[in-house]
Each structure stands twice: as structure tokens, then as C-alpha cells.
């Protein structure tokens, strides 16, 4: 019999109960007992939900209060020494301190979980790192579920993935820790086995990466050890987020009872697996998309499942989500305001459970046993193919009519730059900011009141214009060169544009955990994207009317809009990206026509789109860079195109950034002490660039001297005539009290640099 399986369920709760409880606990407004009770309730609710849906293998220990990698670190007693851990069991407070820092103790680093928008806490290892079982949650969770009548499959982050995702503090390779970490895994598995656990899920998504040789060699002996520690325990090895490729052989060589494959990202790989799968090993088919919100094409999924069953027999097959459902919103049923057509195309985590169960039933009892679900799914597939809500002939013909010319500005940068400098009256070391200014409580309130209908349009516009004027006056007063309007009208840099574009839908409650207690509510791109009306022109025009200095128009780039949304699965990402680019291209043209001479197209998320495997980078970078170029290349030579990037390191893709051909890029770098500049030792960035000199992530006011110092450092890699002076990122999360002196100091730093350059010229 084919089993239905699940890899993990969202923890946060349909009403973000966990977020609220955890935050209240941090503030001291909720007791530890109450926090634990909320957590228990959520686990129970989600187990029952899965049981009711008919899922055979229900995960436990997929729940945690902050992050599952951090929980694994706690389980393994992998606590950085600065937390002065007493070596006892790792309790809530130490756990949260590791995630968030404590007085005088820096938090552990956080980074993206593969190519998702979920962030995990990066394990830290010392050279003499010891590991020991230090948290009992995995055992308690299993027992808790069992007591409630739910048999579960405890989930662990695998030893190789744990080591590979962590960071060695000091000069040694994490491979040296494998022999020390395995005994703890052995202990965990043997205890689980003694408790009567039948299946345990070990997540090894690191198998989706380009592995170092030591790791390739280490997998088999490591899993042999785990096998020997608990010979009767069934191990479900979970891989997800892509094609195992050359690691398929490794996965299938392990002494585990089942290997899970992501067949949404890489549907064809089940064929490779069938060719090599050893006798006795089961295949778990990840057919339901755990990372997107579309209803499954059940007929297509059934076909694959049936094919696999024909080859290895139903006793060796499981069906489930492509990855943990952690990455999808929880329940579509609560979306009462979503358009009915669109809603009918979607499935959130709860609905995906039903799809998984239906799929298993369909393979086990035949298609006739799920005629209703199949008919519904077939109808959705047909509807999405032809729906006028999705398909817009005008957009399609515009896409078809894209010609190479459209990716290029009229003239090369060398010719554009002097024209822009003259038109804008640009000094040496020009100063600017990234776009947003502090979003004060008054601004947020005005936006909220307007949205709720408690403030009318005229009053709202008046209040926003007042904010814009104040920001313009401030920038003039401190003598910034290229001004911004401050973005008071924007709640979020993607949502703001999505709400004005066709082809986007928004949920009321489609929250997905981003990190810790933070959740995001990505827009849904369901149809061809077009721009019915100009989106930002009136605000920019108004802001420009207030000043003789250049006012930057502010747009969010096509790759970032794509990256931070749920995207269509019926056409390629690159095509959707080009549709967004064309809509933005019209906005650029309209801004220009309205007299805006400087336009910024933000692309903070461009790096996040990089494929997990290096070999696939070029293909991605080509279409991503081209989409950016398509969105801005309509600009005249005299219009200065800016872009901005942050949140990541960019050294390994600096040439692609150069290929975007923006006239000016402002890029995060002060937080990493200008590490970015190392990239310029071998690569000469061709256009103008402002490596951030003011770290906006901290309330600290940077002095003139330290900003001068950073600029001097930049000057050793970037010629003065290419160098801009700007903060690391937008200022919306900061308060005026810090922003005022910080920006004043920044302008003074630029002036000091200019004076010095003058002096050198005279000498």
C-alpha cells in the first residue's frame, strides 16, 4: 500500500498564535507556562488536522519556537561559548538568547535556508567543539503525540547538513567534527527506537548542493553508523529543493529505508532514482508543491506515482509534499475575501494535506475512488489554461515582440555619464540616500486609516504630501545632492507595486514564517502582469516640484518583485519576470516624461534567486540581469538609472551586477566592513558605485571620521570619479533622532573628501 507522508507543517498557527505568544513572552507579558501551552495547542491542532486528512506518516519535532536548525543545535548541545552555557539542558531562555542575543552577547548569525525566504540560525563550531544530547524535545514530542493517539515520524536535521550549514570559528574544517557529532545522533536514534518509533525522518537537503569531496565520502560511513545504532529503525531520508543530480548515487547508496525526492522542482529525477534504487528501499515522491500555493494537477501526479508503483511495487512508495509545508500559508478556508475564481486555483498547507491523501488513495484504490478530487483538479487545470483572468493577449504579444535592442540603453555608459553629470550638476563624491525615510507612527497611522476608509483620499494625500515636503526640506538643509521623496506612501516595497499591477492577488492571512517570529505575506502572481495606470508618477512629480535638485524616482525591480511573491507555475519564472519588467519599463518612461531625471530600480533580492548549484548560475543571471535591463533601458542617456542591493554578499556575482549597466549602484557594505571591495581587486566595476558608509541596521550614529575612513578604503579600489556616498539601505526602520545626525555626518564626510581631492589637484 502506498503511504501518504508529510515532511513538516507550518508552526506559526493560522492566526499567528505562536508569533504573538513568543513576542509577548519576550516582552515579559506572557508566562513561560502560557507560552508552552500555546505551543502544545498548536502541535496538537496540527497533528489532529493531519490525522483527519488521512496522512499516514505525520511528522513530530517539526515544531519549534524559533527555528528548527537552532533546535537541532540545542539538541546537540552546540552552544557558542559566549553564551556561557552551564552544560545542562538547553532551556527556552538560552534558546532565545542564541537566536536574538542577550545583554552584551551577540546573537548567532542568521541566513537563508537554501533558496527559500526562510532564515535559519547558523550553527557555530569551535575547533574543540563537543556535542552532547542537551534537549529532550524530540522524545517529548513523540510521546505527546502518541498520548493523543497520533503515531508520528520524528524529524531531525541530518548530521552532514547540520555541519555543512554551520560555520567553523577558526581555522579548521567542519569535517573534523563528524566523529564527535555522530554519537549524539546514535544516541537519539537508539532512544527513539527503544521508545517504539517506527520511522524517523532525517533531513539532508545539503545533498542538493555542490558538496565538498569530504562530505561526498562521509555520507555512507556516517549513515552506516546510524544504522548500526538502531538497526530496526526505519530512516526516511528527506532531500528537497531540487534535483539530486550527481548526489543521487550517494543518496541511494545509504542504508536507509526510504529516500524522498522533490518532484516539483525536478519531476524527471524519479526516473534516475528508479534506475539505481536498491532492492528494499522505498521512494517517497514529493509531488505536492510545498513552496507554492497552487492546487496540484492530480492527474499528472497520479501518473508519476502509478509509474513508480509499476516499477517497484506499492509497498515501496510514499507520496507527499515536495518539502516541508513550512513554506506555504496555512489555510485557504479563512480567505473569505479572495476572488472566487482565484481561490479555486489555490491550496494552502491544510488543503495540501487533502491532496496528498487523495493522491495516495488514487494510487491504492484506483482513479475511480477519487473521481471528485480528480474532476475538480482537471477543471482547475483547464480553467487556468484558458481563463481571461490569467491570459492577456496584449501582454503576450508584447513579450513576443521583445527585441535585443530593448535591453540596451541608447549609448554606452562612457558616453552617458558625462551627459548625466552635466544635466544633474553632479559634484565629486555625490551624496544620496536609498529611498525611504523613517516611517513614523503618524505615517503608519495615516496609511492604516486610509486603508480602513477612516481617512478620505484628499486628507490622505495632504498628509503624505506634508511628509514628503518635510523630507525634501530636510535633505536640502543638510545639502544632499540627489534627493528622494521618502516613500511614506509605501507599506512594503513589493506589495505597493503588486497592488497597482494586474495579475496580482493578495491574501488576508497567507502568512509564511520568514525568521523567528517574523512572518511575511507574499503577493500571489496569478496572471499576465500589466500596468493599468502609472504607479508612482504623481508622488515623484510632486516631490520634484518642491526642489531644484534632482529627485530620484523610486521603483522596485522585476527580479525582486518576482522573488518575493508566489509565482505562476504555468510559465517560466523568466517570462513572468519579463512581464513585470515591461510594466516597470512603462513606469520609467512615464517618470521621465514627467520630468524625473534620476530613477532608482531596487533589486535587493537579485542574489536570492541564484540556483543552489553553481552550474546553473549563469542561466539565471542571464535572464535576471536582462529583465532588469529591460525595465530600465527605455531611459534616455541623460536620465541617471540607479539600482540598490542589500541583504547579501555580492562578491561572487559582481560581474553580473556590472552587466546590469545601471549608471549608479548603492550597495550594502558598511556592515561587513567593506568586504565587498575585495571583489574589486580583480574586477574593475565599470559604472558608478556607492558602497554604503552608514550602517542603518544599528541605531548608532556613525561619525564623520569613520565614514571618511570607509570612503578612503573604497578609494583604494574605486576611482574617485565613480564613487558615491550613501547609507547601506533605506531608513524606514530608523528614528529621526539617529537619521538626522548620521546623514549630516555623511554629507560632511563627502565634503571632506571633496576638499581633500581639491587640495591634491592643486598640489
Alpha carbon distance 596, 591 (integer Å): 5
Q: Which does 435 bind (CB under 5 to 8 A by kind): Zn ion, ligand GLN, none?
A: ligand GLN
- Which listed range, 8-16, 251-259, 537-545, 729-737, lies at the site for Zn ion (CB under 5 A)? 729-737
157 makes contact with Zn ion (CB under 5 A): no
The residue sitting closest to ligand GLN, measured at its beta carbon, is 730
Contact predicate 94/73, CB 8 Å = no
Residues in region 558-597 near Zn ion by CB under 5 A: none
Return the SS3 of 191.
helix
Contact predicate 735/754, CB 8 Å = no
Residue number with CB closer to ligand GLN (360 or 646) = 646
Alpha carbon distance 141, 145 (integer Å): 6
Length of the chain: 763
Burial degree of 129 (CB within 10 A; 0-12, 13-18, 19+): buried
Residue number with CB closer to Zn ion (729 or 747) = 729
Chain contacts with ligand GLN (rule: CB under 6 A): 434-436, 487, 493, 554, 602, 604, 644, 646, 729-730, 732
- Which listed range, 190-198, 225-233, 498-506, 728-736, lies at the site for Zn ion (CB under 5 A)? 728-736
Strands 317-321, 502-505: pairing is unpaired
Q: Which does 723 bind (CB under 5 to 8 A by kind): Zn ion, ligand GLN, none?
A: none
Least distance in Å: CB of 12 to ligand GLN? Answer: 23
Q: Which does 189 bind (CB under 5 to 8 A by kind): Zn ion, ligand GLN, none?
A: none
Residue number with CB closer to ligand GLN (71 or 436) = 436
Ramachandran region of residue 245, left (φ > 0), alpha (ψ -120 to 50) or beta? left
484 makes contact with Zn ion (CB under 5 A): no
Residue number with CB closer to Zn ion (290 or 692) = 692
Least distance in Å: CB of 194 to Zn ion? Answer: 51
Q: Which does 667 bind (CB under 5 to 8 A by kind): Zn ion, ligand GLN, none?
A: none
729 makes contact with Zn ion (CB under 5 A): yes
Least distance in Å: CB of 490 to ligand GLN? Answer: 8
Question: How many helices and strands, by DSSP H and E, does the chain display?
Answer: 26, 21
Residue number with CB closer to Zn ion (435 or 527) = 435
Return the SS3 of 320.
strand
Name the catalytic one among 140, 673, 684, 697.
Answer: 697
Least distance in Å: CB of 642 to ligand GLN? Answer: 10
| Residue 553 grid coordinates | 524616482
Residue number with CB closer to Zn ion (229 or 729) = 729
Binding mask 636-655 for Zn ion (x = CB under 5 A): ----------x---------
CA dihedral 741, 747, 749, 754 (to 10 degrees): -160
Closest C-alpha to 155, from 165, 142, 166, 136: 142
Q: Which does 320 bind (CB under 5 to 8 A by kind): ligand GLN, Zn ion, none?
A: none
Residue number with CB closer to ligand GLN (95 or 497) = 497
Containing 60, the helix (H) or strand (E) segment is strand 58-60
Least distance in Å: CB of 599 to ligand GLN? Answer: 12
Alpha carbon distance 246, 210 (integer Å): 9
Strands 110-112, 640-645: pairing is unpaired
Residue number with CB closer to Zn ion (153 or 732) = 732
Range 700-708, long-range pairs (CB < 8 A, 24+ positions): 700/738, 701/738, 701/741, 701/742, 701/745, 702/670, 702/742, 702/745, 702/746, 703/745, 704/745, 704/748, 704/749, 704/752, 707/745, 707/746, 707/749, 708/749, 708/752, 708/753
Residues in region 603-622 near Zn ion by CB under 5 A: 604
Q: Which does 222 bind (CB under 5 to 8 A by kind): Zn ion, ligand GLN, none?
A: none
Q: Which does 493 bind (CB under 5 to 8 A by kind): ligand GLN, Zn ion, none?
A: ligand GLN
696 makes contact with Zn ion (CB under 5 A): no
Least distance in Å: CB of 645 to ligand GLN? Answer: 7
Least distance in Å: CB of 96 to ligand GLN? Answer: 26
| Residue 311 known to be catalytic | no
With CB under 5 A as the rule, give the number of residues binding Zn ion: 3
Contact predicate 483/598, CB 8 Å = no
Return the SS3 of 316.
helix
Residue ranges that bind Zn ion, judged by CB under 5 A:
604, 646, 729
**Residues annotated catalytic, as ranges:** 697
Amino acid at each position: 500500500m502506498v503511504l501518504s507522508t508529510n515532511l513538516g507543517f507550518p508552526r506559526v498557527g493560522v492566526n499567528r498564535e505562536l508569533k504573538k505568544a513568543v513576542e509577548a513572552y519576550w516582552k515579559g507579558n506572557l508566562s513561560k507556562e502560557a507560552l508552552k501551552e500555546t505551543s502544545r495547542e498548536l502541535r496538537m491542532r496540527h497533528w489532529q488536522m493531519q490525522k483527519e486528512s488521512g496522512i499516514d506518516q505525520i511528522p513530530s519535532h517539526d515544531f519549534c519556537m524559533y527555528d528548527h536548525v537552532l533546535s537541532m543545535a540545542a539538541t546537540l548541545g552546540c552552544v557558542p561559548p559566549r553564551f556561557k552555557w552551564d552544560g545542562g539542558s538547553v532551556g527556552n531562555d538560552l534558546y532565545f538568547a542564541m537566536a536574538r542575543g542577550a545583554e552584551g552577547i551577540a546573537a548567532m548569525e542568521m541566513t537563508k535556508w537554501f533558496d527559500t525566504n526562510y532564515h535559519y540560525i547558523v550553527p557555530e563550531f569551535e575547533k574543540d567543539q563537543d556535542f552532547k544530547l542537551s534537549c529532550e524535545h524530540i522524545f517529548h514530542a513523540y510521546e505527546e503525540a502518541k498520548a493523543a493517539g497520533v503515531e508520528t515520524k520524528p524529524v531531525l536535521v541530518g548530521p552532514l547538513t547540520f555541519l555543512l550549514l554551520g560555520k567553523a570559528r577558526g581555522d579548521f574544517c567542519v569535517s573534523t567534527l563528524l566523529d564527535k557529532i555522530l554519537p549524539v545522533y546514535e544516541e537519539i536514534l537508539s532512544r527513539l527506537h527503544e521508545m517504539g518509533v517506527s520511522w524517523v525522518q532525517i533531513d539532508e537537503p545539503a545533498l542538493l548542493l555542490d558538496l565538498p569531496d569530504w562530505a561526498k565520502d562521509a555520507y555512507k560511513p556516517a549513515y552506516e553508523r546510524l544504522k548500526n545504532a538502531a538497526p530496526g529503525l526505519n530512516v526516511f531520508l528527506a532531500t528537497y529543493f531540487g534535483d539530486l543530480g550527481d548526489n543521487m548515487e550517494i543518496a541511494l547508496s545509504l542504508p536507509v529505508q526510504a529516500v524522498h525526492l522533490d518532484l516539483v522542482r525536478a519531476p524527471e529525477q524519479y526516473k534516475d532514482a528508479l534506475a539505481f534504487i536498491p532492492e528494499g528501499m522505498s521512494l517517497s515522491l514529493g509531488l505536492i508543491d510545498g513552496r507554492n500555493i497552487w492546487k496540484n494537477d492530480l492527474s499528472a501526479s497520479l501518473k508519476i506515482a502509478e509509474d513508480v508503483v509499476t516499477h517497484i511495487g506499492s509497498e515501496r512508495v510514499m507520496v507527499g509534499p515536495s518539502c516541508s509545508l513550512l513554506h506555504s500559508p496555512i489555510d485557504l478556508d479563512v480567505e473569505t475575501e479572495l476572488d472566487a475564481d482565484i481561490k479555486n486555483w489555490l491550496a494552502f498547507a491544510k488543503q495540501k494535506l487533502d491532496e496528498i491523501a487523495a493522491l495516495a488513495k488514487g494510487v491504492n484504490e484506483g482513479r475511480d475512488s477519487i473521481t471528485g478530487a480528480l474532476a475538480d483538479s482537471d477543471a482547475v487545470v483547464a480553467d487556468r489554461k484558458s481563463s481571461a483572468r490569467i491570459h492577456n493577449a496584449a501582454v503576450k504579444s508584447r513579450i513576443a515582440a521583445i527585441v535585443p535592442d530593448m535591453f540596451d540603453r541608447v549609448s554606452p555608459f562612457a558616453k552617458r555619464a558625462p551627459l548625466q553629470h552635466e544635466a544633474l550638476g553632479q559634484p565629486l563624491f555625490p551624496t544620496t540616500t536609498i529611498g525611504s525615510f523613517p516611517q513614523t507612527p503618524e505615517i503608519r497611522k495615516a496609511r492604516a486609516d486610509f486603508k480602513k476608509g477612516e481617512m478620505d483620499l484628499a486628507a490622505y494625500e495632504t498628509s503624505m504630501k506634508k511628509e514628503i515636503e518635510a523630507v525634501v526640506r530636510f535633505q536640502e538643509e543638510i545639502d544632499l545632492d540627489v534627493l528622494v521623496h521618502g516613500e511614506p506612501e509605501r507599506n512594503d516595497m513589493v506589495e505597493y507595486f503588486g497592488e497597482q499591477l494586474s495579475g496580482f492577488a493578495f491574501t488576508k492571512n497567507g502568512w509564511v514564517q520568514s525568521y523567528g517570529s517574523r512572518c511575511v505575506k507574499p503577493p500571489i502572481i496569478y496572471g499576465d502582469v500589466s500596468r493599468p495606470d502609472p504607479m508612482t508618477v504623481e508622488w515623484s512629480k510632486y516631490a520634484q516640484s518642491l526642489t531644484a535638485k534632482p529627485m530620484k524616482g523610486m521603483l522596485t525591480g522585476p527580479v525582486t518583485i518576482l522573488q518575493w511573491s508566489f509565482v505562476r507555475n504555468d510559465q517560466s519564472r523568466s517570462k513572468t519576470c519579463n512581464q513585470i519588467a515591461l510594466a516597470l519599463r512603462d513606469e520609467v518612461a512615464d517618470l521621465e516624461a514627467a520630468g524625473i531625471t534620476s530613477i532608482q530600480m531596487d533589486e535587493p533580492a537579485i542574489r536570492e534567486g541564484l540556483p543552489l548549484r553553481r552550474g546553473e548560475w549563469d542561466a539565471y543571471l542571464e535572464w535576471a540581469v536582462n529583465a532588469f535591463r529591460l525595465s530600465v533601458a527605455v531611459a534616455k542617456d541623460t536620465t541617471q538609472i540607479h539600482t540598490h542591493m542589500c541583504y547579501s554578499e555580492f562578491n561572487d556575482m559582481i560581474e553580473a551586477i556590472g552587466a546590469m549597466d545601471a549608471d549608479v549602484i548603492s550597495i550594502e557594505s558598511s556592515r561587513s566592513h567593506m568586504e565587498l571591495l575585495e571583489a574589486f581587486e580583480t574586477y574593475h566595476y565599470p559604472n558608478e558605485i556607492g558602497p554604503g558608509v552608514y550602517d542603518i541596521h544599528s541605531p548608532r550614529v556613525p561619525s564623520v571620521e569613520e565614514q571618511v575612513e570607509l570612503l578612503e578604503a573604497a578609494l583604494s579600489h574605486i576611482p574617485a570619479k565613480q564613487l558615491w556616498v550613501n547609507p547601506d539601505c533605506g531608513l524606514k526602520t530608523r528614528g529621526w533622532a539617529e537619521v538626522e545626525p548620521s546623514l549630516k555626518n555623511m554629507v560632511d564626510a563627502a565634503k571632506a573628501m571633496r576638499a581633500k581631492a581639491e587640495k591634491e589637484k592643486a598640489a
